[in-house]
Amino acid sequence: MKILTVDLGTRSYPIFIGDGLLGTFKAITEYAAGKRILIVTNETIAPLYLSQVNSMFAGFSQDVVVLPDGERYKTLDVLNRIFDALIDGKHTRKTTLVALGGGVVGDMTGFAAACYQRGVAFIQVPTTLLAQVDSSVGGKTAVNHPLGKNMIGAFHQPSCVLIDVDTLKTLPEREYRSGLAEVIKYGLIRDLPFFEWIEANVSALLERDPAALAYGIERSCQNKADIVAQDETEAGIRAWLNLGHTFGHAIEAWEHYEGLLHGEAVAIGMAMAIEMSLQRGHLSDSDVNRVSAVLDKLGLPLLPPQGMTPDIFIEYMQRDKKILDGGLRLVLLECIGQAYICENSPVADVIRAIQASIKRHGAGLEVR
């Protein structure tokens, strides 16, 4: 087992990474605030792993909320089911919420913990690659609004994060590949050696080789922990983590969160951000092709959905919460392994980048 630390002073917490942890890692109980927990999970994950979480917390009073599975349920309405369960069960300020599932479960459980009685403890037990390498670490919690993703939320750090890589064995292929988009992101924004390692280990990653997985998750979490420790509330470099996300969120919102998966949308968005970095003179054409090739080999899409024009992108991007007072604020690359923030990107430049990315991938690479 590896233990990383998210260093946030009195709110620091550990990330435990290993296999066979779920059900056996009883030390997790030390991170509960009291002797009661409410486990929040979903219909897909409950039959697979709920009993293992139950047995880890033997001796605790345990309640469970099982949510429907999917990003479209990440709403205030569904969030209210968690509040109902907490209040019906008379949970006090000393309760602990346990998020067992992917990013949706983690984000909603964390936000419920942030708001219930103005803040209670919670523990992240992520079961998807996306949640393990990204959303479970760093304390960003939220629900979506019909017009924008993660528009309603809070910063609320978990007490600990338990990552059992064995849970990835049951993860559907498409979701697994979607998670790889966020892994690649860390290489692109601040870790060239990690990007090179990913390039060299494409096959091992696609085969879910346990050693490759463990290393990829650990290094991703270390990158995330470093960034969060430097900039908890996204006043600065934490925004790098949004590489491709402003484009990606536009896709997800336009499809009402019922089309491409988050990581798929981010992959398309990263391709566009990289194209724009090229147009601004930072990347070479071969850099762009190199990044595109890795995304493509890992089975990620590079073209936006049919019918989603550059104008639609702009419309939705202007609603994104990362946009400040009209100007489009985007994360771009200075080079592979180094992100920067481009303030007030002209809309015309963004449109040009979207068009160039569509042209490059529509013409060159296989369309998935």
Active site (catalytic) residues: 118, 140, 182, 224, 234, 238, 242, 245, 249, 262
Give 288's strand partners.
none
* Listed ranges 51-59, 72-80, 221-229, 240-248: which one lies at the site for its own copies (CB under 8 A): 72-80
- Pick from 14, 23, 148, 337: which binds its own copies (CB under 8 A)? 148
Residue type at 179? G
Give 98's strand partners.
39, 123
Helical H segments across 137-256, by residue range: 173-190, 192-200, 202-206, 210-230, 245-254
> Exposure of 72 by Cβ count < 10 A (0-12 exposed, 13-18 middle, 19+ buried)?
middle
Q: Cβ distance 328 to 316 under 8 Å?
A: no
- Report CA torsion sign: 112, 137, 44, 60: negative
* Listed ranges 15-23, 30-38, 180-188, 195-203: which one lies at the site for its own copies (CB under 8 A): 30-38
* Listed ranges 143-151, 172-180, 200-208, 217-225: which one lies at the site for its own copies (CB under 8 A): 143-151
Least Å distance, CB 148 to its own copies, is 6
* Listed ranges 48-56, 91-99, 185-193, 215-223: which one lies at the site for its own copies (CB under 8 A): 91-99
319 contacts its own copies (rule: CB under 8 A): yes
- Pick from 80, 203, 284, 309: which binds its own copies (CB under 8 A)? 80
365 contacts its own copies (rule: CB under 8 A): no
* Listed ranges 11-19, 89-97, 258-266, 271-279: which one lies at the site for its own copies (CB under 8 A): 89-97
- Measured from the CB atom, is 94 or 169 closer to its own copies? 94
- Measured from the CB atom, is 32 or 213 closer to its own copies? 32
Residue type at 231? D
Look up residue 197 and give its two tokens: 């390692």
- Pick from 3, 76, 192, 293: which binds its own copies (CB under 8 A)? 76
- Pick from 1, 27, 68, 94: which binds its own copies (CB under 8 A)? 94
- Measured from the CB atom, is 211 or 235 closer to its own copies? 235
- Measured from the CB atom, is 209 or 255 closer to its own copies? 255
- Measured from the CB atom, is 290 or 322 closer to its own copies? 322
> Exposure of 317 by Cβ count < 10 A (0-12 exposed, 13-18 middle, 19+ buried)?
buried
The contact mask relative to its own copies for 199-238 (x = CB under 8 A, - = no) is ----------------------------------x-----
Q: Cβ distance 361 to 312 under 8 Å?
A: no
- Report CA torsion sign: 349, 351, 352, 353: positive
Separation CA 359–CA 338 (nearest Å): 25
Separation CA 237–CA 223 (nearest Å): 12
256 contacts its own copies (rule: CB under 8 A): no
User: Residues near 350 by Cβ (< 8 Å), separated by ≥ 6?
Assistant: 276, 310, 313, 314, 317, 328, 330
**Residues lying near its own copies in the complex (CB under 8 A):** 34-36, 76, 79-80, 83-84, 87-88, 90, 92-94, 114-119, 140, 142, 145, 147-148, 151-155, 233, 318-319, 321, 323-326
